[in-house]
Structure 1
Amino acid sequence: MVLTRLFLILAKGLSLAAASLSLSSYVVHESRRSISTRWTPVRRAEHGVLLPLRIGLKQENLHSLEEYLLDVSHPNSPNYGKHWASTKVAETFRPSSVALGIVRAWLVDSGLESSRIELSSTGGWLHATVSVSEAESLLATEYYVYQSSEEDVEYLACKGAYHLPEHVSKHVDIVTPTLHFDAKMKRRTSPEFVGRGGQPGTSSRSHGPKVVGPIEDVSVSTELEDCNNQITLPCLRALYKFEYAPIASDKNSLGIAEYTPQAYIPSDLDQFFQNYSKSLVGERPVMVSIDGGTINNNETDKAFFEESNLDLQYSMGLVGKGQPVTLYQVGDLIINGTFNNFLDALDGSYCTFEGGDNRAFDSTYPDPAPGGFKGPTQCGGAPLPYIISTSYVHDETDLTPAYMQRQCAEYAKLGLMGVTVLYASGDGGVAGNDGRCLTDDGQAAEGAPRFMPGFPAECPYVTGVGATQVNPGAKVTDPESACEQGIFSGGGWSNVFAMPDYQKEAVQTYLEKYPPPYPADIWNSTGQSRAFPDIAVNGANYLIVVQGKVFRVSGTSASSPVLAAILSAVNDARLAVGKSPIGFINPTIYSAAFEGVLNDITNGSNPGCGTNGFAAQPGWDPVTGLGTPNFPKMLSRWLELP
C-alpha cells in the first residue's frame, strides 16, 4: 500500500514535470476569470480518479454557418424553406482528417496508448478514459472538487484555465470535463436524494415562474373582463386573435422540453381543462423519455410541478385536441439531465458519447445509484419536432464561452433542419437568476452593478421570448406593456455572441433613437453583440392548477410555450398546403416582409442591477423584442412565402 502510494506520487511528479517543461509551447485554450460565489473548491481531486476525457474537434465550415442558415430561413432567399437533411448537416460540419490526425498524434506522443483513444462515429469527438493525473499533465492544469452552496452534489473541474499545445489548440473546440461543472462526483447523501442543482430544472441555473396563491376566489368563467388580473386560455386567444383548428396534425409536431425532477400531474391537467377547455379532459402529452426521464408525482413540494404543469396546460390548451404535444422528459431522478442530454437525443451528430455503449466514456449514464437510469446515454433517435419550447435559462456566467458557442452552433443546425427553437429570456430584467448581476471582474453576485445576459436566449440561432402584461385596470383589447408584475422581461446584449446580420438594422435603430442612459462599463454598449429578446408574449398572472389548487403565476416561462402553440398553428397551415415548416423564424420576423405584423410594445421596462433597465420603445427593443403576435397577420404572411 505504501509503495503504491509512493509510486503514484512519483508518477504524478514526473508527469507534471514533463508538462511544465513543455509549457512554452502551450497556450490557454479556455479560461474563467472568476467563479460564482456559490461554487467552493473543497479539495484537490485525487490523482487516481478516472475522467471520461472528451475532446471536441474543430468543425469544418462553421464560419459559413450563419450564411447557410440564412439561405434557408430568410424570406428573400430563393432557397427559403428548403431545409437540410440530417445527413447533410453531419457531413458539412464533420471535422477534417487533418484535425483528427494532429490531435490523436498529440495524445499518443503524450503517453496515451492508441488503443485507449476512440473516435466517435460522427468524427466529431475523441474519447479516452484518463486519470486526473494524466489529464492534469495533458492540459497543464489542476483539478479540484467543487461544492455548490445550492445543492449536495460535488463537481470535478479545472481551476481557472486549461492549456493545449498551440498546434493542437487550433484544431480543438472544447475539452470536457474542464471548466464546465459537468462531471459530477458521487453524492455524499443517501441514494434517494433527488438532485436539485447543476442542470436546467433547478433554481441554481434556471428560473421558474413566480407563483402567487393559492387563489381562493378564482373565476373559472370564459369571460374576458378580468384578463388584467388573471390570464386564461380565452384571454390569450383574444389578445393575439388566435383561433385555429388543426387540419394537418398528422404531419405537424410540437415539443415541450422538461428536465427531471420537474414533472406534470395528470389530474391537474384534467382540472385545468375542465375549467377552460373541456374537450381536452383526459388528453395527455406524448412522452419521450430521454436518459431515464420519468414523471415522478411523489414529491410534496409544489415547486416540482409548477413549470411542467404551466407549459403543458397552456400549450395543449391552445393547440386543442387535434394536435398532439410531445413532452421530452430529460434525465433520471438521481442525476437529472442537461440541455446537452436533450440535444444528444435529438441529433446523433451532436452526441458526446455516441450512444453511450462504452461506459468508460459516459460519466452520467448508466447511473449505478439505486433508482438511477441503467441504460446508455441516448444518442439520436428521439423524434425531431418542428417547434421546441424550453422555459429554462442559465446565467451567462454559468458556462464558458466555448461551451455556449458549441451548443449555440447546434441550435443553428436544428434550424437548418427546419426546427424552430424557442427559449424564455429570463425573469430578472437586465439581471440574472435570483437577481444576480456581474461584478467588475465578471463574477455573479447579488448587488453587483453590471447587467447579466441569459443563455441560451442570447444565442443568435434561437428565438428569445420576452414577456408582456395586460396593464392593471386595462381591457384585453388595450395595448399591452412590458411585464412588470412579479417579474421583468429578460433582455439586453450578449457578452459572448456577435450581432447576427438579420437584426442589425432593427437594433441599430434602437441604439440611435433611444440610447440607454447607462455608462458603457455596466452593459455591452459596443453595438456589435447579439441583442435579445426577439419577440414577446404575455407572461403575467396566468392561472394554473398545481396539486388540485389554482395558483397565479408569472414568467417568460409562460410566454415561450404559448408562442410555440401559436407558431405550431402556422406550421399546420403551411404543411396543409404542401409547404415546409417555418423553421428558424428570426430572419423572417426581422425582415421587411413582416413589417407591421407584430403588435409593437412601447411601454414598460425591465429593471435590474440597481437600474430601471431598458425601456420598451417603438420598433425593436431589448425588453419585448419586435412585439407580440398578431396571429391572422402572421399566418397570412407566412402562407405567402414559398
Structure 2
Amino acid sequence: MLSLLSWLTLSLVVVSGATSPWTLHERRSHIPPGWNRARKHEPSAIIPLRIALTQPNIDQIGSYLNDVSHPDSPNYGDHWTPDQVATKFAPTKETINTVRDWLLQSGVDPARVEVSPGKGWLHVNSTVGEVEGLLRAKYYVYVHDTGAEHVASESYHLPAHVTPHVDFVTPTIHFDARLAHEGGPTTSGIVTKVSAKAKGCDEEITPSCLRALYGLPNKPVSAKKNSFGIVEFTPQTHRQSDLNSFAKKYSTGLSGVSPKMVSIDGGVLQTKLTDDNYYAESSADLEYGMSLVGPKQEVTLYQVGDTHRGASFNNFLDAIDGFYCIFENGDDASHDTIYPDNVPGGYKGKQPCGTVKPTNVISTSYKYNEADLSDLYAGRQCLEYGKLGIMGITVLYPSGDDGVEGGRGLCLTPKGKQTSKGKVFNPSFPASCPFVTAVGATRIASGGSVHDPESAWDHSGGGWSNYFGMPAYQADAVKSYLKHHHPGYSGDIWNSTGKSRAYPDLSAIGYNVMIVIRDEVMTISGTSLSTPIVGAILTLVNDARINAGKRPIGFINSAIYSEKFSGAFHDVTTGTNPGCGTKGFEAVKGWDPVTGLGTPNFPRMVEAWLKLR
C-alpha cells in the first residue's frame, strides 16, 4: 500500500543516507495516466520556484479543531478569528531565515527571494539550470495525450538542515490538477432525460420528496443573519432561465431569484460550451441548494476560474483565506492556475487574496482521485480545511461517483500507479481529508416511499485513505465496523490497517433527482448532488441555532460521531459500492464506508445541536 500520513503531522522526509548532508524530499513512483516524458528541459528556461514552509503548532491542529467542535468541550462554538489562526500557524523566523540563507549561500540574488504576505511560502524565479543545482534534480518536459505540455522532475533533494523547515517545493514531482474542462476532477455526469409524466419519489426525486424524507422546514427564520455558499468551477455553469423553470415546477417563490455570484479569478457564466455536461453540475447544485433553503436565504455562488485555464481548489482557498494565499504567481504552477493570466482570453485582473468572505457552509461538488496528487500537496491543502473549521466554517465534499474505484474508472497497482487494469481501491480527495465532511449518496428502493429506509446508491464512493491517518472522532465507529463487518478482502487491495481516515461521514439522496437543463427536465445522479442537499440541510440547522442566539455549527464531524447525535441519522443498511473487480463495501447497521452514519433526520439534528452552547 501507499505510505500513510498522520492526520495531525505530515511526514516530510525520507533520508537518503545516514551520513549524507542531503535528503531525498520527494520522489514520484510513476507518471500519471495520459502523460509521457518527451525531452529534457532547456537549462535557460525560467521556473517559478515555490517553497512551502513548515508551520509551527500544526501537529496540534486536530486538538484545536476538536476543542471548538466537540459537544463535550467547554469551548464548543468558540471559533477563532483569521488573525488568531494566522498567528498560531505562521512559520517562525528561524524557518524563514534558514531557507532564505540556504538560497543566498547557493548564489541566489537576495532581491529575487520573496516571502509571501502570509509568510507561508518563499518564492524565487530561477532558471532550470539553477534549480537543478539547488535541488539536485533533473527537469523534463512531459506531453499529455491532448497535446498539453508540463514541466516536472522525478525527484528532488534538500540539504539536511533545511529539510525540517520545508513542506514541499514546486514545481517538482507534481502534475496538473487544475479543475479545467479538459481534465481534473469528476462530477456526477449521470444525466437522463425523462418524460413529463408524474411519478413517485422512488423514481423521481423533487424538493418536496426531500422535505418529506428528512423532515425539513418550509422556510428559514433567520436568513439575513445566515449564509450558504456553493462553489462552481468554470466552464461548469448554469442559466437563470433554468433556475426559473425549475422554481415554477418544483419550488414556490423562487422564480426570478438568483444566487449572489462572486467571481473569483475571472469566473463567468460561460455560454460557448453548451453540452448538457457543462450545465448539469451547476444547475443541480443551485436548483436544490436554493430550493431547500427557500427564497429568503441568500445563496452565494463562488464561480471560480476563467474560460481559458480554469482553476483549482487552491485558487478558491486563496480567495477566502489570506493566510493560505500566496499572491502574484505564488501558487504551484504545475497544479494551480496562476493569475493574472496574460495569454489571449485569460483573466488579467488581480488574484483575490483573502478578500472573499467565506459563508457559514461551503458545498463543493468536485473531486480528484487521491492518487492524482502527491501526499504532501494534498496534506497541505487538507490542513487549510482544518483551519477553516477552526474558524467555524463547514466544508463539504462528495465521496465520489465510482464506488471504490477512482474517477475515470481507474484503480491502483500495488505500487500506486493508476490504471484501468488495477485491482487496488483508489480513494477520493478531498473526501479523504479528515478536516472536511464527506458526503455519500443514497436512493429510495423501487416501489418504496419516503417513509421507507433508503438504500446505498451503487456508485457512491467510500473507503479508506492511503494518505491520512484516522481522526479520533471516528475511531470507535470505524473500529466497530471492522470488528463486526470486516469486508474480508486481502490487505493488498485496500488500506486494511485500521489506522487511516475512513469516509464518507454521512449521506443523502443522490439518485434520479429531477433537474432542468436548457429548458428540459432530466434526472441526475451522483454524490455531487447529495453534497449541496446536505449543505442546505446544515444551513437550516444554522438557521435554527442563530434564531436561538447561538453560533453556527462549523466543523461537524466531531459532533455527529458523538453519542449526543446517535439518533440524528437514518441508518442505511442495504447496498454496496462496487469497483476494481469487487462488490466494494456493504452498507450495514451503524457507520459504514458506503453511506457513513446515514442520512439526516432533521428534527433530531436540530434538537441535538440546539442543546449545545
Q: Counterparts of 1:244 and 1:75 in 2: how far apart (Å)?
A: 28
Q: CA deviation at 1:363?
A: 6.9
The AA in structure 1 aligned to 2:105 is D
The AA in structure 1 aligned to 2:65 is L
Q: CA deviation at 1:331?
A: 0.7
Q: CA deviation at 1:617?
A: 0.6
Q: Specify the alignment match of 1:157 in structure 2.
A: 152
Q: Counterparts of 1:78 and 1:395 in 2: how far apart (Å)?
A: 38
Distance 1:203 1:451, change over 3 A: farther
Q: CA deviation at 1:120?
A: 1.3
Q: Specify the alignment match of 1:481 in structure 2.
A: 455
Is the CA contact 2:260–2:299 (under 8 Å) kept in the aligned structure 1? yes
Q: Counterparts of 2:433 and 2:274 in 1: how far apart (Å)?
A: 36
Q: Specify the alignment match of 2:165 in structure 1.
A: 171
Secondary structure at 1:329 match in 2: strand
1:263 aligns with one of 225, 237, 248: 237
Q: Specify the alignment match of 2:590 in structure 1.
A: 619
1:57 aligns with one of 48, 53, 58: 53
Q: Specify the alignment match of 2:201 in structure 1.
A: 227
- Higher mean alpha-carbon deviation, 201-210 vs 544-553, is at 201-210
Is the CA contact 1:348–1:354 (under 8 Å) kept in the aligned structure 2? no
Please state if 1:586 is matched with 2:557: yes
Q: Counterparts of 1:455 and 1:306 in 2: how far apart (Å)?
A: 21
Q: Counterparts of 1:364 and 1:66 in 2: how far apart (Å)?
A: 31
Is the CA contact 1:463–1:533 (under 8 Å) kept in the aligned structure 2? yes
Alignment map for 1:199-348 (pairs within 5 Å): 199-202=178-181, 204-219=183-198, 226-348=200-322
- Higher mean alpha-carbon deviation, 393-402 vs 542-551, is at 542-551
Secondary structure at 1:350 match in 2: coil
Q: Specify the alignment match of 1:492 in structure 2.
A: 463
Q: CA deviation at 1:213?
A: 2.9
2:127 aligns with one of 124, 127, 131: 131
Q: CA deviation at 1:205?
A: 2.7
Q: CA deviation at 1:310?
A: 0.7
Q: Counterparts of 2:577 and 2:182 in 1: how far apart (Å)?
A: 21
Q: Specify the alignment match of 1:9 in structure 2.
A: none
Q: Counterparts of 1:140 and 1:255 in 2: how far apart (Å)?
A: 44
Is the CA contact 1:201–1:262 (under 8 Å) kept in the aligned structure 2? no
CA offsets per residue over residues 590-617 of structure 1, 9 Å max, x none?
0011012100100001100000000011
Q: Specify the alignment match of 1:565 in structure 2.
A: 536
Please state if 1:100 is matched with 2:96: yes
Q: Specify the alignment match of 1:423 in structure 2.
A: 397
Unaligned runs of 5+ in 2: 1-15
Alignment map for 1:375-454 (pairs within 5 Å): 375-454=349-428
The AA in structure 2 aligned to 1:270 is N
Q: CA deviation at 1:24?
A: 4.0
Q: Counterparts of 1:607 and 1:26 in 2: how far apart (Å)?
A: 45
Q: Counterparts of 2:397 and 2:191 in 1: how far apart (Å)?
A: 23
CA offsets per residue over residues 419-459 of structure 1, 9 Å max, x none?
00000000111101021100122100112100000000000
Is the CA contact 1:335–1:364 (under 8 Å) kept in the aligned structure 2? no
Is the CA contact 1:467–1:482 (under 8 Å) kept in the aligned structure 2? yes
Q: Specify the alignment match of 1:635 in structure 2.
A: 606
Q: Give the TM-score, by structure 2 length.
A: 0.94
The AA in structure 2 aligned to 1:82 is D
Q: Specify the alignment match of 1:114 in structure 2.
A: 110
Q: CA deviation at 1:629?
A: 0.1
- Higher mean alpha-carbon deviation, 47-56 vs 508-517, is at 47-56
- Higher mean alpha-carbon deviation, 278-287 vs 413-422, is at 278-287
Q: Counterparts of 2:374 and 2:131 in 1: how far apart (Å)?
A: 19
Q: CA deviation at 1:201?
A: 4.7
The AA in structure 1 aligned to 2:279 is F
Please state if 1:78 is matched with 2:74: yes
CA offsets per residue over residues 207-254 of structure 1, 9 Å max, x none?
2223343223443xxxxx611111111111111111242222121111
Q: CA deviation at 1:375?
A: 1.2
Unaligned runs of 5+ in 1: 1-19, 183-197, 220-224
Is the CA contact 1:145–1:157 (under 8 Å) kept in the aligned structure 2? yes
Q: Counterparts of 1:212 and 1:31 in 2: how far apart (Å)?
A: 40
Q: CA deviation at 1:152?
A: 4.3
CA offsets per residue over residues 388-408 of structure 1, 9 Å max, x none?
111111001110000011000
Please state if 1:44 is matched with 2:40: yes
Secondary structure at 1:281 match in 2: coil
Is the CA contact 1:51–1:131 (under 8 Å) kept in the aligned structure 2? yes
Q: Give the TM-score, by structure 1 length.
A: 0.90
CA offsets per residue over residues 502-557 of structure 1, 9 Å max, x none?
00000000000011110000000000000000000011001111111112110000
